[in-house]
Amino acid sequence: MRNTLALILTAGFASPALAASGPFFSLANTDFVVTLGFIVFIAVLFYFKVPSMIGGALDNRAEGIKAELDEARALHEEARSLLASYERKQREVQTQAEAIVAAAKEDSVLAAEQAKADLEKSIARRLAAAQDQIASAEASAVKEVRDQAVTAAVAAAKSVLAKQMTAAQANKLIDSAISEVGDKLH
């Protein structure tokens, strides 16, 4: 293929030389000198195997590009798998977040119900304590009224008895109280 390319190039450059006037194979003809120089140049290139070096370089470059493309495909596939993995993890995290939010809502509802129940119990305890205090205050007031009534009754009885009783009656009552206490003690 390389030889065919060189032949085509040579024929392509020689065709304008055929159109020149005068003898073609003369050093005075510039077209012949240029063609001869070109052929020598091409021959030197083939002698030093420049086309094979260029072809080898192009082949190496093509292999390098192919390797880079393979590596790029592998990286692309790896990136796709990482993307899929991250999307899967994102969905899992989203699901977990939704579950946490739902659990938090349930916990808040339960906590509100518990707080309501605790508040009702606290109100009931305070109401019972207030009723106990009211009953205690009422009992204390009744006792105080009774004590004052007894004190007033004793004072009234004392003054009535003091006015109505004579010394003989008082001695007789004292003796009967002493004998009653003696009977109860023995």
Please compute the mean of the pLDDT values over residues 105-112 and round it to a whole number.
93
Residue-wise pLDDT for 117-150, tens only, equals 999 999 999 999 999 999 898 888 888 888 888 8
Is the distance from CB of 6 to CB of 50 less than 8 angstroms? no
Helix ranges (DSSP H) in the chain: 2-18, 30-47, 50-164, 167-185
pLDDT band at 156 (very low <50, low <70, confident <90, very high): confident
Q: What's the pLDDT at 17? A: 46
Q: What is the largest CA-CA distance in the chain?
A: 195
Q: What secondary structure, in 3-state letters, does 132-179 show?
A: HHHHHHHHHHHHHHHHHHHHHHHHHHHHHHHHHCCHHHHHHHHHHHHH
User: Model's pTM, two decimal places?
Assistant: 0.39
Q: Which of 5, 30, 8, 1 is nearest to 17 (CA)?
A: 30
